[in-house]
Amino acid sequence: MRFTKKAAVFGATAIVAALTLSACGGGSTDNNSSSGADAPYKVADNVSLSGSPTFDKVKGDGKITIGVKEDQPGLGFKDPATGEYSGFDIDTARWMAASLGLSADKITFQAIASANREQALVNGQIDLYIGTYSITDKRKAQIDFAGPYLVTGQALLVKKDNTTINSDKDLAGKTVCSATGSTPIQNIKDKYKETKTTEFDVYSKCVDALKNGQVDAVTTDQPILAGYAAQDPDNLKVVGEPFTTEKYGIGLKKGDGALRKFLNDVLTNGKNIWTKLYDNNLGKSGLKLEQPAVDNY
Ligand code: GLU
């Protein structure tokens, strides 16, 4: 099944109800036991993958460090009370680790902000990055991506009582907040010259700025914004339709073509698993996004 543009354009309000809330915390080992027995995939044994430096390292260490977001409910989220990680990106990370022969208890999740992802991969601080990470040519100069595993687009989050911002056409003279180093802030700077920008390392700080009245809107990918709207549906709403195309990839060290192909094969051969993970996290309200075909670059 190929992804279509139409499939990316979904009603944000519909997903709001499906997502849960909270704040953020530090990085730590995956202690979510629910990712074990009831997961729709098995931990592979005797994985055959030659020519991958990352796999050799991970196999030798018997553990994997995966960079994620932890303040994006429904995608990458760490429950501050229990320390449990949840979301579509987190489950995708567990699936990829399992396909490499590593069970959930062998995963260390490390929160890495949007601006620091390439460097964390280049430095070897993390083995993979799975967290609303758009595949771009600029990033591909430093790292490689498997995927895409999800395609969405940039949208807007405003206060519920806001009547002046209904789409990206209404941003002239407004102040919009997004994360440093992200594709949405760059898009605003490049194409919306009459719009002022405020930036933070993570989106949850933009949401605070919106609630405090410091900014008029938050912009990033629609499912991320829907997660924040779900935290506070009485005060926040997602408006308009996505106005960019964001293809989420799995970040890995540049030149590890063997690992990229391996992960692409896992994604391509795992349509039922993908659907289950999607339904569990983002599709609870009945929204349907199709799994995109992986890139062959
Ligand atoms: N997908 C966009 C990006 O990679 C926005 C979300 C994010 O910052 O993680 O820049």
Distance from the first to the final alpha carbon of the chain? 19
What is the rounded CA–CA span in Å between residue 139 and residue 159?
Answer: 32
Cβ of 145 closer than 6 Å to ligand 1, yes or no, is no
DSSP 149: E
> What pLDDT is recorded for position 284?
65
> What pLDDT is recorded for position 12?
41
Beta strands 196-200 and 64-68: pairing type? unpaired
Main-chain dihedrals φ then ψ at residue 145, nearest 5 degrees: -125, 135
- pLDDT digit string (tens) for 2-50? 333 333 444 444 444 344 333 333 456 776 544 555 799 999 998 999 9
> What pLDDT is recorded for position 38?
79
Measured by CA distance, the residue closest to atom 9 of ligand 1 is 132
> What pLDDT is recorded for position 296?
79
DSSP 167: S
Cβ of 65 closer than 6 Å to ligand 1, yes or no, is no
Stretches in the chain below the pLDDT threshold 70:
1-28, 31-37, 284-288, 297
CA of 131 to the centre of ligand 1 (A): 8
Q: Is 33 exposed, middle or buried (0-12, 13-18, 19+ CB in 10 A)?
A: exposed
CA of 108 to the centre of ligand 1 (A): 21
- pLDDT digit string (tens) for 138-164? 999 999 999 999 999 999 999 999 999
Cβ of 200 closer than 6 Å to ligand 1, yes or no, is no
What is the rounded CA–CA span in Å between residue 90 and residue 75?
Answer: 7
Per-residue CA distances from 32 to 66, 86, 101, 105 (Å): 15, 8, 17, 8
Cβ of 251 closer than 6 Å to ligand 1, yes or no, is no
Q: Specify the 3-state DSSP secondary structure of 76.
A: strand
Q: Shortest CA distance to 263 belongs to which of 44, 87, 106, 85?
A: 44
Report the DSSP beta bridge partners of residue 72: 76
> What pLDDT is recorded for position 37?
59
- Identify whether 148 is preceded by a cis peptide bond (ω within 30 of 0): yes
Residue 97: how many CB atoms within 10 A of its CB? Answer: 26
Main-chain dihedrals φ then ψ at residue 141, nearest 5 degrees: -70, -25
Cβ of 144 closer than 6 Å to ligand 1, yes or no, is no
